[in-house]
Amino acid sequence: MPGPTLDDLPDGIVVAPEVAEALGAGGAVVALESTIISHGLPRPTNLDVARQIEGAVRDQGAVPATIAIVDGIIRIGLDDAALAVIAGSDEVVKASVRDLAVVVAAKGHGATTVASTAELAARVGIGVFATGGLGGVHRGAADSFDESADLTTLGATPITVVSAGVKSILDVAATLERLETLNVTVVGYGTDRFPGFYLADSGHAVPHRVDSPDEVAAVMAARRTIGSTAALLVANPLPEDRQVDPVLHDRVLTDGLDAATAAGVTGKDVTPFLLAHFHEASGGESLRANTEIILANAALAGRIAVAAA
């Protein structure tokens, strides 16, 4: 299927010259979200990790394209000054697809989620996207209807996403059911088990397995041939010896869910609340794992992008 061209973009979307050059030449480009920088990691660690994430993509021969809104301009690829704004400003809004126009109109700063990053990346023709973990169906969603826009967006966006499964704070079984309903193709990278972000195994199997970037690239090519319109999710687990200790994980998660309920935290604020709780209550283990997850996924996405190019 022919993709969009950079000439079709409106004035409010700016593609960094390096990214535009790579896309124009059919080269390897990896989209990166910015919510992990603004809301997922503590300062000042977040800016250093943001640079490391881009470096992990470059080390594989691909061009990183971190996506964010800076002063009301959607930017596909950030320079270091823009990265510093997203990492350091208190005015950065967590912007999913529904929030983009509001942030742009206000000429504000916005960090893109999985959903908005995927949509904007696909809009400019980027085929591979690396993140930490997807959003999904929240626990208790049968009563609250709390489900991440990541799922419905990926159900309508033909992009390859590398993640460590979905965040372990979610209802993983329900999330996998929704991914199936939305026709999102799920493959385990070097594993038959679906990872749970901090955990190498969420307790659920994956329907398909791949073991190399070339295999992923072959699936991507076949999807283009048949006209697939939903995402391909490449689930890349942490090695078992690098996961957060499951006993520690379960205790901290239970305490965090109780704290969120007591504080009245709901909706899109639940994830950053729980991630902050994990960071505080796990003795730094969650931050260590979170950093290793995104760096590993960025590197794998770089290899996949090179293979696909």
Does 94 qualify as catalytic in the annotation? Answer: no
| Bridge-based pairing state of the strands 13-15 and 73-76 | parallel
Give the three-state DSSP class for 137: strand
Distance CA 227, CA 221 (A): 10
Which single residue is written with the structure tokens 């061209």?
A: 5
Both tokens assigned to 85: 């704004």
% helix, strand, coil for the chain, step of 5: 50, 20, 30
Select from 243, 271, 267 the least CA-distant residue to 256. 271
Catalytic residue, from 119, 167, 280, 285: name it: 167
Does 107 qualify as catalytic in the annotation? Answer: no
Q: How many CB atoms lie within 10 A of CB 169?
A: 27
Distance CA 204, CA 109 (A): 38
Distance CA 101, CA 110 (A): 10
Give the three-state DSSP class for 193: strand
- ∠ CA(158), CA(145), CA(96), 5° rounding? 45
Residue 216 · residue 303 · CB < 8 Å: no
Both tokens assigned to 47: 């800016």
Catalytic residue, from 21, 33, 94, 119: name it: 33
Give catalytic residue positions: 33, 167
